Amino acid sequence: MTDEGNTPPPVARDGAETAENTTDEKAGDGNGLASIDVLNSPPAEKKGLDTASDDGDISDSDQSFLDHLNSSSPEEGHTQDETHSEENREMVKIQPDEFEEQPSAPATMAPVDPPEKRGGCEAVGDKVDESIHSFFYKIGHFCSFRPKTTIAISMGVAILCAMGMAKLTTENRPEKLWVPQNTQGEQEQDQYLSYFPPTSRFQNVIVTAKKSNANVLTKGYLLDVMKMHDSIETGVSEHDEEKYTFTDLCTSAGGSCATQDPGNAVCTCLLASVLKVWNYDLAKLEADNDVMATLNTYGTREDLEGVLGAAAFDSSNRLVSAEAISISYFLDDRAVVEDGNEIDPVNEAWEESVFLKTVQGDFEKLNTAYLSSRSFSDEFGGEISGDLVYVQVSYFIALIFLGATLGKRICGRGSRWAMSLSTLVLIGLATVAGFGVASLAGFLYGPVHSILPFVLLGIGVDDAFVIANAFDREREGPRESEDDEALVKRGARALARAGASITVTSLTDLVAFAISSTSALPALASFCAYASINIFFLWALAATFFTSAMVIDEKRQRANKRDLLCCITRKKIPGEEDTGSKEGHMSMYFRRFHAPKILSKAGKVTTLICFAGILGLGLYGVINLPVEDSARNFIPQDSYINTFSATTDEYFPSSGDSLYITFENGRSIFNNRVSLAALDTRLTGLSDKPPYIAEPNSESTYKNVMASFKDYLDTIGSGLVGNVTLGEDGWPTNYDDFMASLKIYASFFGPGRAYAGTLSYDDNADIQAYYVKLEYVRLTKEFRGETLDDASRQIEAMDATREMVESWDNLHPAFPFSDKFIAIEGFKIIGYELYRNVGLAILCVGAIVLLTVANIRTAILITLNVGLCIVEILGFMYVFGIVIDSISVTNVVLAVGLSVDYSAHIGHCFMMKGGATKDIRATETLADMGASVLNGALSTFLAVAVLLFSTSYVFKTLAIQFALTVGLGVVHGLVLLPVVLSLCGPEPFASAERPHNVKFITIMAKENALNESSDSGTASKDSSLEEATTTIPDESCNSLTAATDALMI
């Protein structure tokens, strides 16, 4: 035994420690048995540091089993070839007084097999384990020897890196975040905007009567609507000391009034409503004695249905009544991009102080549903900002949980509230350092990055528990008996013990996120890049900053100073200090209750059956999990936007997204004039099948200047549009006449002024392109009681539209464009991105686990465990009604990183545990690492559980998916994986620990021993073996392990 009461870490094999610090180990016979001669060791080494027993005297059944071990002989069934030497027989004789339960001293490291017997993967695994162990031993020794210097260096580096945040680039435009770049949709948008730059911001109000189902086309209601319009038209906003009205800001257009009225400024503005029949003039409406007759002059039935909700017509298609009136206002777009945000302060001021203020007023007879261009950013941004308080609450909850569980006590000696704060400081330093480096690297920062603090909190807390647990398990006695040199060695051993584990999890997390940083979705790629950089800093600071802080805190406890108030000495309370690193309640739970239950035969069968059922549910969910446009879910449930959407669905169910088919080249337009004027014949009958284009039977669903121009020439002639010569087909006879007359017709003061905005002119004022405006039908569906835009049909509509335009060979060049295409491109790829990123991440996790654990079987089991967990998370997403969208796909990628931690810790720890059977090794693994894994999972869950009370779709979805990740991840790591490892786990590393302070000989182990003995001809004499369990001290465990190995051979 060493002066530390423990075998030095593998670094000793590299010469980092002197030869005096090695353990007296004996290798077994040629069969590869290794043992430690306990009987020949000094009593202090055999009995540990304290002989106090928690369980009292050894039971009769325990004594019976010991007698059985000591009485085994060749004559009792073994052949001469199976008989061990007398030396080995002497080694396995164990006295009853050696089995008093002891405080858990550091486990003795003993080779599992002689080095010359281990080759191939086992030898590689041993070498990797030894290298990692040695590296972290040296790091731990430096941090423990110079803790204050290490903390200063760590903080200095983190702050220096954080300065890179001066280069932080924010981006909030959806088309730059959630749309694949350089797609066909982006090319179509760029091409369309080159002809028709963005010109308008949209405002809409739908007016209904407070009396249910009332007709709003009575004169009384119409007067109230006109008065509301007057307030909007004449209302004044102010920006930078300049005053603006609607007519100052509106998009210029003709055709907004029934008759041209140069004295009425609103007639030169683009707006749409039945109020146009009175030229938006209150006096004309008041003087009208037959409002229904006037309303019927608005246009066709389809035109009226575009601006009136629930319109009713008589047998002659004359308007009779309606339940809703829609009024749309258009402002000139004055937006500029500033720090990744599109801002339009002049228009936004008018929208807020005039439009929204007016329509949100209290009307005696009217209800209003309204939408403004600024509505989404106001409501969604306000929701996110309001819920950021949950981030603060979650960190406070994490602090409380850490303080309650990181130390031996909540209050008093052994508490670690200062270390709880240090953990949050660690996470904060890693966050700012990672953000600084990511900013310097040029990665954008978007709204989804606001969930990073929760990710880093979960991973950082997990590392803190693992390191703190290692410090506890490496303590050999009372702190007062430990000088500075011993504490430095303990810190080195603790980090050597924990370093490999946090390296496996951190490296797998880092690589999983790094792989997803190659995503075609910019926001997801940037988020994962930020996460991977932050995880590197978490790992580095946990190994240095946190380890150093632990050493300082241990010195504080040794000096009996108060927690958080380290300058004040506490009063000593007799018996308050524990005498060693005795296992905590959580570890004892895993040893005495959890492990025996799941590792029994019935427990294993039950576990496998239950997880098979969960996997079946997961597979069902994966098959049925849809990609949907969940944009509506981003809006708070009590938002006026949801009221507007519901009103639109009720009164204007056929209105969908606009579609623009642009025809290029003036010569081609002239040559194809006949076909272009009759384009509606190609678009009829497409409303109920892809591309789901609404029937072209009204101005709202079909706006084609060529059709209108041809109708005008047929009915009026060319006298007012250049008086050009018309041919037999009714068209101007040559290109120049055609262009001259068309430009006059579609000018702002021409007969076709309503079509002025559909033409694009080049620098020579010649027509270079024009668009035909169409409309898709409303593509929505019900999903779990919610109305969602149907992403699958939207994808079909976009693809079918492109195919349709491409098939018009005689009308080229032409291309389609819709504002929605950009988002649909994201829907089209997001499902693929989800499965691609998750699949690649899991494969890389397997490769990293194989590299760090250096055992093929363990790597496969850990990777398979993580893969099953992800499948089940996707299945439960379907159960909870979560669809694949921009938020959930990010959270699933996070789930890969977080769920790896729970399995990797257990898998690596299993490789570090020796024992006669895999059940024993699995038990030791759970007793050692189970508490840290469970505490880390609980802290992560508690931190995000508060988000379940959020009304924000982003945070609520995050909370549900994190809860699924933590719940399923921890049961896979603490239930399924131990069971699988106990059934088909590999041999441990050569440096594996022998079991200590363990209910070492379980029922199953004894049954196995009896069965092996029976197979070789030995019959059991004592039925009490079926029930016996024995608590064995550390060094005796080593001897008994060798004894059991010998008997089973």
Residue by residue, what is the 3-state secondary structure of 289-300? CCHHHHHCCCCC
The full DSSP string for 201-212 is EEEEEEEEESST
Of 165-179, 300-314, 378-392, 427-441, the range with the lowest mean pLDDT is 378-392
- Respond yes or no on whether the N-terminal peptide bond of residue 988 is cis (omega within 30° of 0): no
Of 382-396, 417-431, 783-797, 890-904, the range with the lowest mean pLDDT is 382-396
CA distance 110 to 36: 8
What's the confidence (pLDDT) of residue 839? 87
Between 402 and 204, the higher pLDDT residue = 204
3-state DSSP call for residue 789?
strand
What's the confidence (pLDDT) of residue 832? 84
Of 127-131, 138-142, 244-248, 999-1003, the range with the lowest mean pLDDT is 999-1003
What's the confidence (pLDDT) of residue 1000? 42
Q: Percent of the chain scored above 90 by pLDDT?
A: 37
Model pLDDT for residues 308-317, shown as the tens digit of each residue? 999 999 988 8
Q: Computed from CA positions of residues 875, 878, 884, 885, in that sequence, does the dihedral angle turn out positive or negative? A: negative
Q: What average pLDDT does this structure show over 736-753? A: 89
DSSP type of residue 108:
P
Model pLDDT for residues 441-496, shown as the tens digit of each residue? 989 888 778 778 878 887 888 888 889 888 888 887 777 788 899 999 999 999 99
Model pLDDT for residues 401-426, shown as the tens digit of each residue? 888 888 766 666 778 888 889 999 99
C-alpha distances out from residue 283 to 280, 288, 296, Å: 9, 9, 19
**Cβ atoms of residues 794 and 820 within 8 Å:** yes
Of 325-329, 344-348, 988-992, the range with the lowest mean pLDDT is 988-992
Q: Of all helices (H) and strands (E), which one includes residue 327?
A: strand 324-332
What's the confidence (pLDDT) of residue 384? 55
**Cβ atoms of residues 994 and 108 within 8 Å:** yes
Q: Computed from CA positions of residues 916, 920, 922, 924, in that sequence, does the dihedral angle turn out positive or negative? A: negative
Q: What average pLDDT does this structure show over 683-687? A: 92
**How many other CB atoms are there within 10 angstroms of residue 321's CB atom?**
17
Of 265, 240, 238, the closest CA to residue 254 belongs to 265
Of 502, 555, 514, 532, the closest CA to residue 135 belongs to 502
- Respond yes or no on whether the N-terminal peptide bond of residue 813 is cis (omega within 30° of 0): yes
CA atoms within 13 A on the CB side of 745: 28
997: amino acid identity, one letter: N
Model pLDDT for residues 339-377, shown as the tens digit of each residue? 667 788 999 999 999 999 999 998 989 999 999 988 877
DSSP type of residue 84:
P
Of 389, 385, 387, 468, the closest CA to residue 426 belongs to 468
Dihedral pair phi/psi, residue 34, rounded to 5°: -125, 140
Q: What average pLDDT does this structure show over 975-979? A: 95
Model pLDDT for residues 937-960, shown as the tens digit of each residue? 888 787 777 777 777 777 788 888
**Cβ atoms of residues 520 and 179 within 8 Å:** no
Does residue 812 carry a pLDDT above 90?
Answer: no
Between 385 and 295, the higher pLDDT residue = 295
What's the confidence (pLDDT) of residue 104? 43
3-state DSSP call for residue 180?
coil
Largest CA distance in the chain: 127
Listed in sequence order, the residues at least 6 apart from 982 whose beta carbon sits closer than 8 Å to its beta carbon are 599, 604, 918, 919, 921, 922
Between 264 and 96, the higher pLDDT residue = 264
Confidence of residue 683 (pLDDT cuts 50, 70, 90): very high
CA distance 921 to 932: 17
CA distance 402 to 416: 8
Model pLDDT for residues 557-571, shown as the tens digit of each residue? 888 888 876 666 666
The full DSSP string for 571-605 is PP-TT-S-SS----HHHHHIIIIIHHHHHSHHHHH
Does residue 55 carry a pLDDT above 50?
Answer: no
CA distance 439 to 736: 56
CA distance 505 to 845: 9
Strand 169-170 versus strand 444-445 pairing type = parallel
Model pLDDT for residues 690-712, shown as the tens digit of each residue? 999 999 988 778 999 999 999 99
CA distance 498 to 405: 18
Model pLDDT for residues 845-895, shown as the tens digit of each residue? 888 888 877 788 998 999 999 999 999 999 999 988 888 887 888 888 878
CA atoms within 13 A on the CB side of 721: 30
Does residue 1026 carry a pLDDT above 70?
Answer: no
**Cβ atoms of residues 122 and 129 within 8 Å:** no
What's the confidence (pLDDT) of residue 68? 44
CA distance 717 to 713: 4
CA distance 194 to 183: 17
**Cβ atoms of residues 567 and 560 within 8 Å:** no
Does residue 395 carry a pLDDT above 90?
Answer: no
Does residue 636 carry a pLDDT above 70?
Answer: yes
Dihedral pair phi/psi, residue 828, rounded to 5°: -65, -30
Q: What average pLDDT does this structure show over 142-170? A: 93
Of 7-21, 229-243, 862-876, the range with the lowest mean pLDDT is 7-21
Write out the two tokens for 451.
């969930």
**Cβ atoms of residues 266 and 247 within 8 Å:** yes
What's the confidence (pLDDT) of residue 120? 58
**Cβ atoms of residues 698 and 303 within 8 Å:** yes
What's the confidence (pLDDT) of residue 381? 58
Write out the two tokens for 988.
């441990």
CA distance 48 to 38: 12
> Can you give 181-245 as a three-state secondary structure string?
CCCHHHHHHHHHHHHCCCCEEEEEEEEEECCCCCCCCCHHHHHHHHHHHHHHHHCCEEECCEEEC
What's the confidence (pLDDT) of residue 121? 61
Listed in sequence order, the residues at least 6 apart from 466 whose beta carbon sits closer than 8 Å to its beta carbon are 498, 501, 502, 905, 929, 932, 936
Per-range mean pLDDT, top range of 57-71, 75-89, 565-579 = 565-579
Q: Residue with structure tokens 């131990």?
A: 978
Strands (E), 837-920: none
**How many other CB atoms are there within 10 angstroms of residue 922's CB atom?**
26
CA distance 389 to 401: 19
**How many other CB atoms are there within 10 angstroms of residue 49's CB atom?**
18
Of 691, 711, 789, 786, the closest CA to residue 751 belongs to 711
Between 527 and 102, the higher pLDDT residue = 527
Does residue 61 carry a pLDDT above 50?
Answer: no
Q: Residue with structure tokens 């080159």?
A: 194
Confidence of residue 992 (pLDDT cuts 50, 70, 90): confident
Listed in sequence order, the residues at least 6 apart from 1006 whose beta carbon sits closer than 8 Å to its beta carbon are 65, 1025, 1026, 1028
Q: What average pLDDT does this structure show over 603-626? A: 93
Of 490, 484, 459, 475, the closest CA to residue 407 belongs to 475
CA distance 702 to 746: 16
Burial status of residue 685 (CB atoms within 10 A of its CB: 0-12, 13-18, 19 or more) = exposed
Q: Provide Rg for the chain, Cα atoms.
A: 38
Q: Of all helices (H) and strands (E), which one includes residue 533?
A: helix 522-541
Mean pLDDT of the chain: 79
Listed in sequence order, the residues at least 6 apart from 522 whose beta carbon sits closer than 8 Å to its beta carbon are 171, 176, 177, 178, 179, 181, 444
**Cβ atoms of residues 683 and 245 within 8 Å:** no
CA distance 925 to 934: 13
Per-range mean pLDDT, top range of 20-34, 95-109, 287-301, 376-390 = 287-301
